[in-house]
Amino acid sequence: MSETQQQGFKRINFFKGFLTTEKDWNDAERYHIDKRRLHNRMMHSPGIVYGYAGDLRVNARARGDLSVEVQPGYAIDGMGNDLMIFDATIRNINLEEFRLPQTIYVVLRYYEELTDFIAYKENLEYKGHRRVLESCRVELSQTEPDIMREVELARIHLEKGVQRVRDARDPADPKPNEIDIRYTPKGGLSGSTSWRTSASTATRRAKSPSCVASIRCASARVCTSARPGHGGCTISSTRSWTTPSTRRSPATATASTSPCTRTTPSPSPTTVAASPSTSTRRRSAPRRRSCSPH
């Protein structure tokens, strides 16, 4: 079987007497680069990873001209490349490059650059770049971004006669000549192939009444009482009602029909009949909420 027909990742294997060349060392580096990109593609969704530095936020400059400022941040493109900006970057908009009215896109693109060139005086045949810089550039594009090659940071619909770019007064409804960040992809979510489905499913579940009740039940701080055979605990909240006796009859307990059901005690008719002389008085008693065991 020829090497072109072999499938899989090949890492370097050192042994005694192995005479290495530049190809061996470059292949060793390529192995780790490809594995890291594979991990990013399969385990993380492409887009802006929020929570680092300035989240690659795009803002209009205070001087009020046709330029935008991109804050530091981190993103992943569709090929699994790491895109990181360490300092704020300014990008000027040259209207001569566009035919207005037109929508332009502020994007982040990955690129590599050979650096640290060296040439040995003893033998000029031995020369080359000792490092490869992995970096990215903020660019303006006239076409809708392709996540495999670039990450969208913002878009701006420019009208004829535009003099300045502004931050959107209403980010949910930006106007012409205002920075629109509604379409920026959110990256870093676990599971690139199913993150959209899982996110929407989680949202629907979080809004369901049964899930809300379960969350509230699970978030209770203290179990104020627990009775054998009753199952679960009771969560107390202060509430007043009128009762003919200071002790409740066991018959007044209400069966729980949901994971977290509020139960309100009612006076027992037999208790009232047995004690005609018992005066009805108002007292402050806890209102209980029962939590069934999961």
Q: Is residue 197 part of a domain?
A: no
68 neighbors 61 (Cβ within 8 angstroms): yes
Cα 236 to Cα 35: distance, rounded to the nearest angstrom: 55
115 in the same domain as 23:
no
Domain for residue 97, yes or no? yes
| 282 is a domain residue | no
Same domain, 56 and 32: no
> Could you tell me which residues come within 8 angstroms of residue 72 by beta carbon, excluding any fewer than 6 positions away?
52, 53, 54, 56, 85, 86, 87, 88
Residues 175 and 187: their CA atoms lie apart, in Å, by 26
Residues 182 and 228 in one domain: no
Write down the pLDDT at residue 64: 77
Q: For tokens 């982040």, name the residue.
A: 108
15 and 79 both lie in a single domain: no
Out of 189, 223, 258, a domain closes at 189
Domain boundary pick from 156, 189, 222:
189
Residues 148 and 182 in one domain: yes
Please indicate, yes or no, if residue 280 is contained in any of the structural domains: no
* Same-domain pairing of 62 and 184: yes
Residue 231 domain flag: yes
Distance CA 263, CA 258 (A): 11
Please check whether residues 150 and 223 belong to one and the same domain: no
Q: Domain for residue 34, yes or no? A: yes
Question: Are 68 and 184 part of one and the same domain?
Answer: yes
Q: In terms of domains, do 78 and 134 share one?
A: yes
Number of folded domains that form the chain: 3
Same domain, 125 and 136: yes
Q: Please measure the distance between the N-terminal and C-terminal CA atoms of the chain and give it in whole angstroms.
A: 57
Per-residue pLDDT of the chain (294 residues; tens, 9 = 90+): 445 566 889 999 999 999 999 999 999 999 999 999 999 999 999 999 999 999 999 999 988 789 999 999 999 999 999 999 999 999 999 998 999 999 999 999 999 999 999 999 989 889 999 999 999 999 999 999 999 999 999 999 999 999 999 999 999 999 999 999 999 999 987 754 444 444 444 444 444 444 444 444 433 444 444 444 444 444 444 444 444 444 444 444 444 444 444 444 544 444 444 444 444 455 555 555 555 554
pLDDT for the residue numbered 288: 56
Q: What angle do CA 33, 36, 41 make, to 5 degrees?
A: 125
Q: Does residue 255 fall inside a structural domain?
A: no
- Considering the domain architecture, whether residues 183 and 236 belong to the same structural domain is answered as no
What is the CB neighbour count within 10 angstroms for residue 201? 11
CA distance 186 to 183: 9
Instruction: Give residue 250's pLDDT.
Output: 46
CA 291 to chain centre: 32
Q: Does 225 fall in a domain?
A: yes
Q: Are residues 136 and 172 in the same domain?
A: yes
Q: What is the pTM of this model?
A: 0.62
Q: Work out the angle at residue 112's Cα, subtended by the Cα atoms of residues 106 and 116, and round it to the nearest 5 degrees.
A: 130
Residues of the domain holding 218: 208-242+287-294
